[in-house]
């Protein structure tokens, strides 16, 4: 094994699973068919709060092909765990409309669907409360916010600074509930045998599902195997297990047969998580040159009665701009609503819509170019943590993006550029995302017949992880990528962290690299000789991560948008979107570009289209299908491009990379809203930028 190959990292290697995916051979969770399979379909509560009094299980059991009806009175008991989203069918309580109250199991999907439709459930309903208001009497201060940040922060005397500031922006922004809507619905196939429980699951973390599900069924983790080689999009929604995983396992246990269960698209609006709506008040105090003296950012959000999820909306404001006086806070209210969860860049996405809109308002108020305003407020150290930045190239992104976008000479006057019946405008917003790295394990094996197998329970949810890890391994093993077989997506592989927090490449890449280095050492010791049984090395990065020195580590970016707004109808079209990013070393420019542009596309969608509308009377999301919850279609995405600035940062990880899965969505909506203001003179502070918000606003 002395082949010397040119480094693969940095080259645009085609997605290694491309052939599987373009031919339809890639097998997703629901497509696994153990022998003797039965179909399960869930029944959802039709009250928003109350109790299930009775389920008429018997009459549907008369239907042809029916196997079982499972509800709280006959469901297998689960071990008590803290996460009430997962302790399904254990009590008569209904905590939100759409919560699962029963599961029917039948021989065919059609029979199960029909039975679920016909199942009679009696409720004792109670009045519900589903309306998020910042002045809700139930607002409380959570102990911490996701994942483990301080709830509030304060530095200096922001109130006095605001009182004395020459220019003050004080505005309230809102973002609606948003649903991930991966095209693959959440699905699980559960199978019990002598070894325990096997789950084919659509998940961003096979190790995580195993660790979470095992205790529910009082099993040791080794008795649960979670297999998930392909995942049809996650965006955070498949980050932690939701009810359907437990329901599938529970149903399979009850009927003594393998069971398949998928949430339907409509069910997903209640049972698989969403991004909390937010109400955010931002106050900025500055001198006439736009230099900030005070930043105050307060967020009001909802969570469910059965589980707390506190989106870290204002945490990003703690490090974004310099100002001596500052305060951030989060307040939550528990409502009779489904459980919110991580959704692509939780915290940064809604938070930066508000902060970057406010910065644009400040630029207008001060008469300063919005790019220049941001440059003027660039901090030299992390303003609240007081730590140096490992690297921070926000200014380079702003300047480089401005140049490529053609920002120079922009007339700041709003509402004056016309092209036919369209008003034209441009806008900018900063972008950022933290650098996370989590402990993981990996193994690397030299095969006796040649070639290498590298194993890690990572998840490739479309990020390109399988491809990028192949490149990292190939370089460490000094072979071309074709000689590396990468195995991911199975909890039987060495334990790995979740595909979340844009941490995959950094976390798993470190483990893969160390395992490969270990294998190379072992091979060296054997003078390159691979024994008949192969040679394997493994690595665990827990220790290495603990020794990482404290620095403020973030990726940065700048987003530029050009929009056209129909003067008469308020229809907004994004004519151009350009993202400039500084995210460490880019390992695969092809898949990285897709990640960045993909995030920006979701940001565009968020800006103009996405909104889950709460039905206050019925207490559920009203527009719960893809005909009514619009996500951007091909025709909405015209000229979207991304580029990056070369960034050397030795204080990250051995690859020198920062995460790129989420930064693309951060700031996009603000850039578009700022461009809409520039086009029309109307400041839209409530997402999405609906047609009727512009026309009502008086174009």
Give buried/exposed letters for 224-246 (b at 16+ CB in 10 A, else e): bbbbbbbbbbbbbbbbbbbbbbb
Comparing C-alpha atoms, which of 347, 341, 348 is closest to residue 180? Answer: 341
Tell whether residue 77 is a contact of other proteins (CB under 8 A). Answer: no
Question: Is the peptide bond preceding residue 688 cis, with omega within 30 degrees of 0?
Answer: yes
Considering only residues 410-449, where is the footprint of other proteins by CB under 8 A?
A: none
Asked if 305 touches other proteins (CB under 8 A), the answer is no
Reply yes or no: is the peptide bond before residue 147 cis, omega within 30 of 0: yes
Q: Is 322 in the site for other proteins (CB under 8 A)?
A: no
Nearer Cβ to other proteins (126/651): 126
In this chain, which of 62, 148, 380, 547 binds other proteins, going by CB under 8 A? 62
Give the residue ranges of DSSP H helices in 235-381. Answer: 243-255, 265-271, 317-320, 348-366, 370-376
The answer to whether residue 321 forms part of the interface with other proteins (CB under 8 A) is: no
Task: State the minimum distance, in angstroms, from the CB of residue 296 to other proteins.
Answer: 24
Cβ 71 to other proteins, closest distance in Å?
A: 12
- Helix axis angle for 668-680 and 589-608, nearest 10°, is 50
Structure tokens at 650: 């030795």
CB of 602 to other proteins, least distance (A): 6
Q: Which residue has the tokens 């989060």?
A: 330
Stretch that binds other proteins, among 216-224, 397-405, 614-622, 670-678 (CB under 8 A): 614-622
Nearest distance from C-beta of residue 352 to other proteins, angstroms: 18
Name the residue nearer to other proteins (CB basis): 235 or 389: 235
The binding track of 213-252 with respect to other proteins, each residue x by CB under 8 A or -, is: -----------------xxxxxx-----------------
| Torsion sign over Cα 225, 230, 232, 238 | positive
**Rounded distance, CA 24 to CA 36, Å?**
24
Residue 55 or 332 having the CB closest to other proteins: 55
Burial of residue 214 (CB within 10 Å: 0-12, 13-18, 19+) is buried
Q: What are phi and psi of 693, to 5 degrees?
A: -75, -30
Of 542-601, binders to other proteins (CB under 8 A) are 568-571, 573, 590-591, 593-595, 597-601
Residue 608 binds other proteins (CB under 8 A): yes
Shortest separation between residue 405's beta carbon and other proteins, angstroms: 17
Note if 611 is an active site residue: no
Query: Closest approach of Cβ 93 to other proteins, in Å?
Result: 16
Whole-number minimum distance, CB 552 to other proteins, in Å? 29
Residue bearing tokens 């976390």: 507
**Measured from the CB of residue 658, what is the shortest distance to other proteins in angstroms?**
19
Binding region for other proteins (CB under 8 A) out of 143-151, 176-184, 389-397, 670-678:
176-184
CA atoms 445, 447, 452, 453: torsion sign: negative
Site map 3..32 versus other proteins, x via CB under 8 A: -----------xx-xxxxxxxxxxxx-xx-
Residue 323's contacts (CB-CB under 8 Å, 6 or more residues apart) are: 161, 285, 292, 293, 294, 295, 377, 383
- Decide if residue 92 touches other proteins (CB under 8 A): no
Coil vs helix vs strand at 350: helix
Of 507 and 668, which CB lies nearer to other proteins in the complex structure? 668
The binder of other proteins chosen from 81, 150, 322, 695 (CB under 8 A): 695
What is the footprint of other proteins within residues 32-51 (CB under 8 A)? 33, 43-44, 46-48
In sequence order, what DSSP letters do the residues of 17-85 get, joined into one string? THHHHHTT-SPBGGG---TT-EEEEEEE-SSSSEEEEEE-HHHHHTSTTEEEEEETTTSPPPPP-S-TT
> Which residues between 109 and 128 bind other proteins (CB under 8 A)?
109-111, 113-114, 116-128
Nearer to other proteins, 171 or 637 (CB): 637
Count of residues engaged in binding other proteins, rule: CB under 8 A: 114
Tokens of 57: 């299980």
SS3 209: helix
Among 90, 153, 172, 264, binds other proteins (CB under 8 A): 264
Q: Which of 85, 361, 611, 662 is catalytic?
A: 662
* In 217-368, alpha helices (H): 243-255, 265-271, 317-320, 348-366
Of 16 and 454, nearer to other proteins (C-beta) is 16
List beta partners, residue 325: 294
351 lies in the site for other proteins, by CB under 8 A:
no
First to last CA, the chain: 69
Tell whether residue 93 is a contact of other proteins (CB under 8 A): no
Mark residues 480-519: x for contact with other proteins by CB under 8 A, - for none. ----------------------------------------
Q: Considering only the stretches 354-362, 385-393, 424-432, 610-618, report the one whose residues sit in contact with other proteins under the rule CB under 8 A.
A: 610-618
By CB under 8 A, name the one of 92, 155, 623, 683 that touches other proteins: 623
Does residue 659 contact residue 436 with C-beta atoms inside 8 Å? yes
Q: Which stretch binds other proteins (CB under 8 A): 165-173, 333-341, 623-631, 676-684?
A: 623-631
Comparing CB distances to other proteins, the nearer of 264 and 453 is 264
Residues belonging to the active site: 662
């Amino acid at each position: 094994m002395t082949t010397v190959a040119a480094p693969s990292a940095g080259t645009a290697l085609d997605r290694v699973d491309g052939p599987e995916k373009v031919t339809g051979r890639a097998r997703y969770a629901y497509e696994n068919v153990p022998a003797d399979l039965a179909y399960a379909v869930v029944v959802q509560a039709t009250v928003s709060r109350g109790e299930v009094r009775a389920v008429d299980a018997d009459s549907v059991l008369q239907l042809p092909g029916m196997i079982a009806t499972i509800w709280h009175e006959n469901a297998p008991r689960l071990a008590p765990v803290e996460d009430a989203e997962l302790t399904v069918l254990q009590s008569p309580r209904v905590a939100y409309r759409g919560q699962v109250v029963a599961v029917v199991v039948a021989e065919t999907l059609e029979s199960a669907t029909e039975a679920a439709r016909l199942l009679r459930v009696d409720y004792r309903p109670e009045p519900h409360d589903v309306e998020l208001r910042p002045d809700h009497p139930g607002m409380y201060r959570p102990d911490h916010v996701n994942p483990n940040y301080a709830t509030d922060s304060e530095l200096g005397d922001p109130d006095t600074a605001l009182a004395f500031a020459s220019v003050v922006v004080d505005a309230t922004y809102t973002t609606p509930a948003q649903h991930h809507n991966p095209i693959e619905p959440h699905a699980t196939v559960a199978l019990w045998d002598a070894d325990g429980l096997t789950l084919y699951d659509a998940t961003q973390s096979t190790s995580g599902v195993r660790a979470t599900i095992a205790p529910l069924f009082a099993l040791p983790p080794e008795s649960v195997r979670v297999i998930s080689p392909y995942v049809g999009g996650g965006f955070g929604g498949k980050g932690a297990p939701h009810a359907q995983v437990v329901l599938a396992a529970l149903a399979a246990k009850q009927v003594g047969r393998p069971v398949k269960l998928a949430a339907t698209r409509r069910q997903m609006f209640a049972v698989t998580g969403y991004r909390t709506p937010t109400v955010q008040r931002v106050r900025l105090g500055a001198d006439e040159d736009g230099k900030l003296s005070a930043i105050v950012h307060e967020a009001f959000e909802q969570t469910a009665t059965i589980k707390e999820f506190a989106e870290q909306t204002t945490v990003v404001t703690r490090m974004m701009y310099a100002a001596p006086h500052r305060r951030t806070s989060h307040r939550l209210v528990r409502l009779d609503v489904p459980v919110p969860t991580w959704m692509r860049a939780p915290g940064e996405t809604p938070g930066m819509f508000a902060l970057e809109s406010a910065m644009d308002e400040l630029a207008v108020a001060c008469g300063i170019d919005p790019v220049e305003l941001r440059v003027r407020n660039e901090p030299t150290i992390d303003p609240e943590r007081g730590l140096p930045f490992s690297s921070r190239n926000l200014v380079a992104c702003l300047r480089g993006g401005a140049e490529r976008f053609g920002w120079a000479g922009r007339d700041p006057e709003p509402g004056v550029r016309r092209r036919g019946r369209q008003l034209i405008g441009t806008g900018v917003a900063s972008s950022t995302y933290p650098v996370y790295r989590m402990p993981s394990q990996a193994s690397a094996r030299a095969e006796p017949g040649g070639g290498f197998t590298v194993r890690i329970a990572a998840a490739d949810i479309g990020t390109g992880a399988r491809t990028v890890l192949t490149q990292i391994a190939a370089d460490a093993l000094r072979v071309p990528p074709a000689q590396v077989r990468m195995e991911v997506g199975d909890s039987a592989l060495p334990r790995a962290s979740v595909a979340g927090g844009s941490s995959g490449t950094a976390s798993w890449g470190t483990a893969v690299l160390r395992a490969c280095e270990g294998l190379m050492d072992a091979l060296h010791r054997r003078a390159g000789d691979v024994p008949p049984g192969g040679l394997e090395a493994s690595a665990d990065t827990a220790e290495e991560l603990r020794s990482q020195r404290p620095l403020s580590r973030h990726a940065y970016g700048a987003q530029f948008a050009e929009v056209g707004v129909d003067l008469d109808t308020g229809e907004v079209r994004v004519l151009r979107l350009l993202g400039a990013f500084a995210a460490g070393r880019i390992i695969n420019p092809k898949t990285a570009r897709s990640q960045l542009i993909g995030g920006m596309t979701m940001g565009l969608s968020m800006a103009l289209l996405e909104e889950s509308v709460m039905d206050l009377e019925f207490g559920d999301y009203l527009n719960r299908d893809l005909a009514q919850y619009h996500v951007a279609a091909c025709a909405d995405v015209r000229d979207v491009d991304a580029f990056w600035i070369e960034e050397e940062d030795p204080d990250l990880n051995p690859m020198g990379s920062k995460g790129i899965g989420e930064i693309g969505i951060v700031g996009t909506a603000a850039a578009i809203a700022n461009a809409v203001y520039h086009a029309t003179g109307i400041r839209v502070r409530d997402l999405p930028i609906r047609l009727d918000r512009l026309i009502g606003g008086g174009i």
